[in-house]
Amino acid sequence: MIIDDVMTDKITLHGLGFAQVQLQGNQRLHVWHPELPRRACFEHSAIHDHRFNFVSRVIVGTQINEEFGLVRDDAGDFVLYLHEGARTAGGGRPWTPDGRAFLIPTGADSISAGNDYNTQAYAYHRTRPGGDGRVATIMAKRGEYPAGAHSTCRFGIQPDTDFDRFQWSPAQLWEVVADVLIGQQVAA
C-alpha cells in the first residue's frame, strides 16, 4: 500500500515528545523539549520503525538512539501496530494490530551536537533527549518504501491511538523551537 497523504502542516507535535517542522529537500527539524506533551502510553510505546532510511544530525544537545532486534513471537512482550492508511483527525495514522514480538536491545549511542546517526528503514529504535531534555536534530530521508511503519506497545498496555498532533498552536510550538535553538549553542 502506498501512503500518499503526507503531513503538510509546517509544524506539529509528534506523540514521541517533539515538535516536527517540515523543511525542503525531504528534511525535517525535530525539536525535543521537556514541556512538550507525549502520547499517554509513551513509556511503553516509544520503540518504532520507519518506512524510510534517514540520517539525522544533532544540532543542539545530545540525542540517545537505542536500537532493537525484533523476534516475532505470539508470546512476545510487545504488540506491533502497523501504521497505514489515511491520517486521522488528530494527524496520526491508524494503529492496526500486526502480531506480537520480543524486542532485544542491540546497541545504544549518545550523539552530541555536530554529529550524525543513521537508521535503516524498518529497523526498530527509540530516541530520547539527553541532558536537560532540549535537543534539536535535522533529519533527512534517504529512500522511502511503500509498506507502512510500525509502533510497538508493551502487551497489556492500551496504545494512545488518539494523540492529537494539533493540541498546541503553531505559535506555542514555535516558542519551544526558539527556546531550544536560541537558548543553546547551535552546531554547524
pLDDT tens-digit map of 155-176: 999 999 999 999 999 999 999 9
At residue 125, the pLDDT reads 98
Helices vs strands, H then E, count in the chain: 2, 11
Greater pLDDT, 6 or 76 = 76
- Given this model, what pLDDT does residue 187 score? 52
8 exposure class (CB count in 10 Å sphere: 0-12, 13-18, 19+): exposed
In the three-class reduction of DSSP (H, G, I as helix; E, B as strand; rest coil), residue 90 is classed as coil
Model confidence pLDDT, tens digit, residues 28-69:
999 999 999 999 999 999 999 999 999 999 999 999 999 999
- pLDDT band at residue 120 under the 50/70/90 scheme: very high
Q: Does pLDDT of 85 surpass 50?
A: yes
- For the CA atoms of 52, 55, 57, 61, the dihedral, rounded to the nearest 10 degrees, stands at 60
Q: Which secondary structure element, helix H or strand E, spans residue 172, and what is its range?
A: helix 170-182
Band the pLDDT of 184: cuts 50, 70, 90: low
For 175, the 3-state DSSP assignment is helix
pLDDT for the residue numbered 92: 82
Q: DSSP assignment of 30-59, as one string?
A: EEE-TTS---TTHHHH--B--SEEEEEEEE
pTM for the full model?
A: 0.88
Instruction: Tell me the pLDDT of the chain averaged across its residues.
Output: 91
Residue 147 has pLDDT above 50, yes or no: yes
Pick the CATH number of 11-158+165-182 from 1.10.3470, 2.60.120, 3.40.50, 3.30.460: 2.60.120
Residue 1 binned pLDDT confidence (cut-offs 50, 70, 90):
very low
Cell numbers 540520517 correspond to: 55
Burial class (CB in 10 A: 0-12, 13-18, 19+), 121: middle
